[in-house]
Amino acid sequence: MDFQSVQDVMERLEGVKYISSREISTVVFLAQATKKPILVEGPAGVGKTELAKSVAKCLGREMIRLQCYEGLDESKALYEWEYAKQLLYTQMVKEKIHDVVAQTATLKEAVDQIAEHEDAFFSERFIQTRPLLTAIRSEKPVVLLIDEVDKSDPEFEAFLLELLSDFQVTIPEIGTLKAKTHPFVFLTSNNYRDMSDALKRRCIHLYIDYPAMETEVHIVKMKLPGMDEKLLRKMVRMVARIRDLDLKKRPCISETLDWANSLVILQIEDLSPEIVSETLNTICKHKSDYEVVRKNILKVVKD
Amino acid sequence: MVKLTLRFVSCCRAADLRISTAEVLDCVSQLDLINPLDEEEFKLVLKSNFAKSRREQSRFEQMYHLFFHEMQRDLSRVTHDPESEQIRAVLDMLREEESDDRLGKALTDFLEGDPMGLVEEVHRIQTQEEQASRALRSNMSQLASRLQVMLKINRMKNKILSFQGGNHAVIDKDSSRKINDSLNEKLDNALALLNDEPRPDNYGLKEVKNYDKKYKQVGEVPFSSLSQEEIEEVRDVIWKLVKKLEEIATLRFSISNRGVIDIKKTLRRSGKYLGIPMEIIFKDRPLRKGKIVALCDVSGSVWSTARFMLNILYSLQECFSKIKSYIFVSDMAEVTDFFKNHDVNEAIEKIMNEAPLNYYVPTDYGMAFQHFKRKHMSELDKKTTLLIIGDARSNHMNPQDLILRDMRDRCKRVIWLNPEQEKFWGTGDSEMRAYKAHCHEVRPCGNLNQLIEFIEDLII
């Protein structure tokens, strides 16, 4: 069932364990109501992909995901002709082709005869659908996630335009295929490069930042209900301080969760500088980051 | 509501936010779905439709505040106050006196609650380019325009005061002061608009500060103070690195011939052999081939870094589809051909002696960028990585950093390598802070270790 109001979005997302801000919920609600794609920006690990997954879950839709990378092209994203199958079929129906042309007198007539049956070989039967085509040909509405669209080439971005504005794609041999149902589209970007104005114009923009402390505490509490409240608050405060340090990669929410999880497993009750530096490798993923945090450990741990 | 939104849109456009009609339509239709009296939601709808990247958000916030807070608040107060008539009279007087002056009119409009003219004017000043005069270089033209606005504002304040003075019989002192204060406050806001230019929030900026200290001795010496033996040693290390990277690149190339069979091409080729697929064609995996455009500052200390950088780039030519290089002091000259026709080291020597560039003028980044924009902007496309190697010390000339923004809009990535240590950025005449806002990546690159790390990042 579709979302009814902003409040409804918020509650249902929380129902599938995604804590969303008012901003996120409003944008999701508007996007659904106006059938527009959402372009989600934000640092790595703030839950951009997770948002799409959660929306799919609470709408009860299937999620189709397309991971973008350099060199991604139409044949991997949209469709490809199944040449092998076409060949196989041609071999098998060879006899039939003989029958078709048997009655004809001239070569021209024979070609015309075959041309009439051309459709048999360039039909949807021989198309192998890739994520994008699957999404718009689906009988039931789906959630389509185009992940890390900033990693793709400019050509691919241009090619997305038709899909995002009209929800249709053009295949030269067949014609234009229109969407049977409107997919709910999410595009995520880490800002590796700037997206073109044309693409941005077709989307609603949403920026997700690192969560406020209360929100992060809420998230951890929901995923790890067993954790001691005092320890949890102390830990989240520390993560926020670590994020302020000058790091190559700042810890994201999933790393906060990892850290919390390992603290629970190790049955740690209080965070002393020693324990922090021993368990630091769950949140620091570079050697130099690790050293920076170690150097500032007292600043991080202070109450 | 629609009218208000449209007025806001034209105001944003005047401030160089690119908003298309389609976006306005979307926004208006979305406003029906929310409660427009709830400001948070109202603002969110405007924001998610008009500022489509994090970088544009700071400008949007500024415009939103100006339009919906400063302007609207004043308007409502004016209409209900008993002094409104008096204010009307002052504004009429100003309008009459400033009728033949664009700036004066814009300011009067601003006082009346229509900021568009002024926003446009301010934007014009902020993007104003320096006149390229050879004889006399200065960063004065932008300053002069700014000064004009400031003087105008002062003059208007005086006019208001004297008008009120002539009128003191009609109204009491208290309300006269009130009127004065309210108008002055607005004029101060106008001044603030001119002075506080929001820098885009460059959240995606990659700032590399830590690096692996791979080579203990020679790796840590700044390029500018290498001795002759150390230079030889550095060359050695670079040569080894180049060989290693070339190997990696060729490996990638050889893998590219072992992908999935490309049936379409194989069938087409089989026509030659009566339909028997004798030649099997594989789908080429695309190589990571980008184009590099390098801009190198060749003044003093920077050149020692730039030459090593160019040395490496051209040794690795095979890894990129194209490399274009330019050097600049205040003019800019293309030096790609030197590298095409000569061996790298020879080319670098030749550049210093033969490149058509005046080395004896103070460095001026703004002018160099302007030159690039006029002559070479077409070199940039969405597959180009723009490397700028320089200390951003522009001798207090106008940095013209908005040109760098235009360049950013046209290419894939802008990477700034600064041979100075990070703690000196933004001190003295360094314009690093202004330029940083428009880069995708900034890193100090003053010694071998830093250079190696950068090159490995770039290629692998």
At A53 the pLDDT is 93
Q: Hey, is the C-beta of B450 within 8 angstroms of any chain A C-beta?
A: no
Residue A143 has pLDDT above 80, yes or no: yes
Preferred mutation among B57, B201, B210, B460 to probe A, highest tally of A CBs within 10 A: B210
Q: Hey, is the C-beta of A33 within 8 angstroms of any chain B C-beta?
A: yes
At A296, list the tokens: 């500032």
pLDDT bracket for residue B210 (50, 70, 90): low
**CB atoms inside a 10 Å sphere around CB A120:** 15
Nearest CA in chain A to B439: A193
Of B48, B203, B409, the CB nearest to A205: B48
- Looking at chain A, the whole-number percentage of residues with pLDDT higher than 90 is 23
At B312 the pLDDT is 79
**CB atoms inside a 10 Å sphere around CB B151:** 11
Contacts of B52 in chain A (CB under 8 A): 39, 197, 200-201, 203, 205
Q: How far apart are CA A196 and CA A159, in angstroms?
A: 12
Contact A248 B208 (CB under 8 A): yes
pLDDT bracket for residue B171 (50, 70, 90): low
Contacts of A207 in chain B (CB under 8 A): 54, 57
Contact B29 A200 (CB under 8 A): no
Residue A62 has pLDDT above 90, yes or no: yes
Residue B255 has pLDDT above 70, yes or no: no
Torsion (CA) A206, A209, A213, A219 in degrees, nearest 10:
60
pLDDT digits (tens, 9 = 90+) for B394-431: 888 888 888 898 899 888 889 998 888 888 888 888 88
pLDDT digits (tens, 9 = 90+) for A180-219: 888 999 999 988 888 888 899 899 999 998 888 888 898 8
| Average pLDDT of the residues of chain A | 87
pLDDT digits (tens, 9 = 90+) for A220-242: 888 888 888 888 898 899 998 88
Residue B383 has pLDDT above 90, yes or no: no
Of B26, B54, B204, the CB nearest to A36: B26
Q: Cβ(B187)–Cβ(B411) under 8 Å?
A: no
Q: Considering only CA atoms, which of B234, B186, B149 is closest in space to residue B451?
A: B234
- Looking at chain B, the whole-number percentage of residues with pLDDT higher than 70 is 87
DSSP string, B312-373: HHHHTGGGSSEEEEEEESSSEEE-HHHHHHS-HHHHHHHHHHHSS--TTS---HHHHHHHHH
CA distance A225 to chain B (A): 32
At B168 the pLDDT is 53
pTM of the model: 0.80
Residue B260 has pLDDT above 80, yes or no: no
Q: A41 in helix, strand or coil? A: strand
Of A70, A202, A205, the CB nearest to B51: A205
pLDDT digits (tens, 9 = 90+) for B42-59: 999 999 999 888 888 888
Contact A288 B212 (CB under 8 A): yes
At B201, list the tokens: 């929030």
Q: Chains A, B: CB contacts under 8 A, how many? A: 92
Beta pairing partners, B416? B388, B442
Contacts of A152 in chain B (CB under 8 A): none
Beta pairing partners, B389? B296, B417
Q: Hey, is the C-beta of A36 within 8 angstroms of any chain B C-beta?
A: yes
Q: How far apart are CA A239 and CA B319, in angstroms?
A: 40
Q: Considering only CA atoms, which of B430, B456, B449 is closest in space to residue B222?
A: B449
At B148 the pLDDT is 82
At A51 the pLDDT is 93
Q: Considering only CA atoms, which of A108, A1, A12 is closest in space to residue A51?
A: A12
Mean pLDDT for B153-160 is: 82
User: Token match 């940083």: residue?
Assistant: B436
**CB atoms inside a 10 Å sphere around CB B353:** 6
Q: Cβ(A271)–Cβ(A227) under 8 Å?
A: no
| Average pLDDT of the residues of chain B | 80
Contacts of A81 in chain B (CB under 8 A): 264
**CB atoms inside a 10 Å sphere around CB B226:** 18
Preferred mutation among A4, A193, A286, A292 to probe B, highest tally of B CBs within 10 A: A193
Nearest CA in chain A to B264: A83
Q: Hey, is the C-beta of A190 within 8 angstroms of any chain B C-beta?
A: yes
What ipTM did this prediction achieve?
Answer: 0.80
Q: Cβ(B60)–Cβ(B47) under 8 Å?
A: yes
N- to C-terminal Cα distance for chain B? 53
Of A6, A193, A292, the CB nearest to B413: A193
Contacts of B23 in chain A (CB under 8 A): 201
Positive or negative: CA dihedral A101, A106, A107, A111: negative
Residue B149 has pLDDT above 80, yes or no: yes
At A13 the pLDDT is 92
pLDDT bracket for residue B460 (50, 70, 90): low
- The interface residues of chain A toward chain B in range 242-281, judged by CB-CB distance below 8 A, are 246, 248
List the Cα angle B59/B65/B71 in 5-degree steps.
Answer: 125
pLDDT digits (tens, 9 = 90+) for B222-239: 887 788 888 888 888 888
At A52 the pLDDT is 94
DSSP string, A116-177: HTGGGTSSGGGEEE-HHHHHHH-SS-EEEEEETGGGS-HHHHHHHHHHHHHSEEEETTTEEE
Contact B57 A71 (CB under 8 A): no
Positive or negative: CA dihedral B417, B420, B422, B428: negative
Mean pLDDT for A168-184 is: 86
Residue A301 has pLDDT above 60, yes or no: yes
Please give the residue that has the higher pLDDT: either B156 or B84: B156
Nearest CA in chain B to A30: B30
Mean pLDDT for B286-301 is: 77
Strands B441-444 and B206-207: parallel
List the Cα angle A235/A236/A237 in 5-degree steps.
Answer: 90
Contacts of B267 in chain A (CB under 8 A): 83
Q: How far apart are CA A138 and CA B323, in angstroms?
A: 46
pLDDT bracket for residue B271 (50, 70, 90): confident
DSSP string, B206-248: EE-------SSSGGGSBGGG--HHHHHHHHHHHHHHHHHHHHH
Contact B23 A201 (CB under 8 A): yes
Q: Cβ(B328)–Cβ(B297) under 8 Å?
A: yes
At B91 the pLDDT is 78
Q: Cβ(A196)–Cβ(A159) under 8 Å?
A: no
Q: Hey, is the C-beta of B243 within 8 angstroms of any chain A C-beta?
A: no
Nearest CA in chain B to A195: B53
List the Cα angle B289/B350/B455 in 5-degree steps.
Answer: 30
N- to C-terminal Cα distance for chain A? 47
pLDDT bracket for residue B103 (50, 70, 90): confident
pLDDT digits (tens, 9 = 90+) for B318-345: 778 788 888 888 888 888 888 888 887 7
pLDDT bracket for residue B284 (50, 70, 90): low
Contact B44 A23 (CB under 8 A): yes
At A9 the pLDDT is 92
Q: Hey, is the C-beta of B38 within 8 angstroms of any chain A C-beta?
A: no
Q: How far apart are CA A82 and CA A261, in angstroms?
A: 47
CA distance B382 to chain A (A): 7
Q: Hey, is the C-beta of A206 within 8 angstroms of any chain B C-beta?
A: yes
Contact B263 A22 (CB under 8 A): no
Q: How far apart are CA B102 and CA B145, in angstroms?
A: 13
Residue B445 has pLDDT above 90, yes or no: no
C-alpha distances in angstroms, A8 versus A59, A132, B455? 12, 29, 50
At A29 the pLDDT is 93
Contact B264 A41 (CB under 8 A): no
Q: How far apart are CA B36 and CA B139, in angstroms?
A: 46
